[in-house]
Structures are given as C-alpha cells and as structure tokens.
A and B are shown apart, each in its own frame.
Chain A
Amino acid sequence: EAGVAQSPRYKIIEKRQSVAFWCNPISGHATLYWYQQILGQGPKLLIQFQNNGVVDDSQLPKDRFSAERLKGVDSTLKIQPAKLEDSAVYLCASSSGQGGETQYFGPGTRLLVL
C-alpha cells in the first residue's frame, strides 16, 4: 500500500512570495490533515478535511494560508504572502475516517523563507 505522498520535498522562497504544497493521501482515506512543524516543536494542526469538507481550521492563519481538497482526494496548501516565521516542515497526514484512529504521515515539505 502506497503511503502519503507530498511534493515538493524542499522549497526555498523569499518573504512575501507565495508557495504551494501538494498532498496525495493513502488511497481510500477520507480524512486529511495538514500540520506545521517548526524546528524543535511538535506538529501543530492547521486544517482537517473529511472528504472535501473542512472539519477544523481553527488554527489556520487564514489571512495568508489557504487549503483545498477538491474531489475529496488530493489537497493543496498555499501560503501567500510568506513570512519568515513560516519556515517549517509542512506535514500531510491521512486516516481512514471510519473510526480508524491512526494518522499516517507523509514525508513532509521543508520550507525555508529568507
């Protein structure tokens, strides 16, 4: 079974530029999560999708971050404009969403904002 796929793996941009990350969850997984992990911290949930609907985006900085999950499969997370403090690893995770508790994480996208 293929795992969670993410791209790109690394991205370097300058502040005020925009950037987008892509995630493809495990096949059949209804629930998709985006987490932000700053160096030395645990992952912080940004947004949770159930199929193509948003379940929780309470910690998403909506003035600059946006996310979508069209057709309930792939998802894109965008930052516009980026700030220095957005430098982090952006992790995508998925779970079956049918009482399945385990969240499986992708390899992450490491973002550096200069």
Chain B
Amino acid sequence: QKEVEQNSGPLSVPEGAIASLNCTYSDRGSQSFFWYRQYSGKSPELIMFIYSNGDKEDGRFTAQLNKASQYVSLLIRDSQPSDSATYLCAVKGRGGADGLTFGKGTHLIIQP
C-alpha cells in the first residue's frame, strides 16, 4: 500500500516570508512527484512536478526531491495571501497505471 504523508497544519506564515511544505512517501519505486494547490471548495490545480533528485524552480515556487530519503518539499518564496490554500503532495508509481496517490494535504495560511 503506497502512502504519502504530510503534516495537515495549519501552517501559518507571514506575508513575504518563505513557506516550506514537506512530504514523505513510502514506495521507493515512485517515479514522479507532484504538488497541487486546492482552494476551499475547488478542485486541485497543478503547481509543479519533479522527477529527478535536486531542485526545480518555477517563479516563486521551488520543488525539492530526495529519493534516498523519500522526501519531497515545496518552497514558496515571497508568500502572498493568495497562496493561502491546501497543498497536496502526490506521487506516481512506475508502470502503466499512473493514477496518483495523494497525501492529506497541508493547510497553509499566509498572514497579511
């Protein structure tokens, strides 16, 4: 049974600071890793994906992957109130079936 663990929060961060969201996964065979943002009452929207160890940057967002530690993180720089949402970590395994296994999500609050 694949598992993805996240701290449910809430994580409270002042506006303009760096928000750091963490995720661990149980299946060493996992190939791809995704961060989705979900506003209350809305569906998940993709922020970033990462396949290789190291960092991947996209604007204010940086995803970090460490396969040896089975650890994925998302950094949000210059946090804005509009970043307040639930952030879902998702993992895709290997093989033809590529449905995602999601964590429970971390509720992020950016304080103005």
A residues with CB within 8 A of B = 31, 33, 35, 40-45, 48, 50, 55-56, 91, 95, 101-108
CB nearest neighbor in B for A41: B104
Q: Evaluate contact between A103 and B100: CB separation under 8 angstroms.
A: yes
A82 to B32, CA, bound (A): 34
- Give A112 Cβ to nearest chain B Cβ, in Å: 14
A108 to B42, CA, bound (A): 8
Q: Evaluate contact between B49 and A102: CB separation under 8 angstroms.
A: yes
| Interface presence of B17 (CB below 8 A) | no
Residues of B near A91 (CB, < 8 A) are: 43-44
Ranked nearest first, the 8 interchain pairs of A and B with the lowest CB-CB distance are A42-B102, A45-B99, A56-B97, A105-B43, A48-B99, A55-B97, A43-B102, A42-B104
CB nearest neighbor in A for B89: A42
Residues of B near A44 (CB, < 8 A) are: 102
Q: Evaluate contact between B43 and A106: CB separation under 8 angstroms.
A: yes
Q: Evaluate contact between B46 and A42: CB separation under 8 angstroms.
A: no
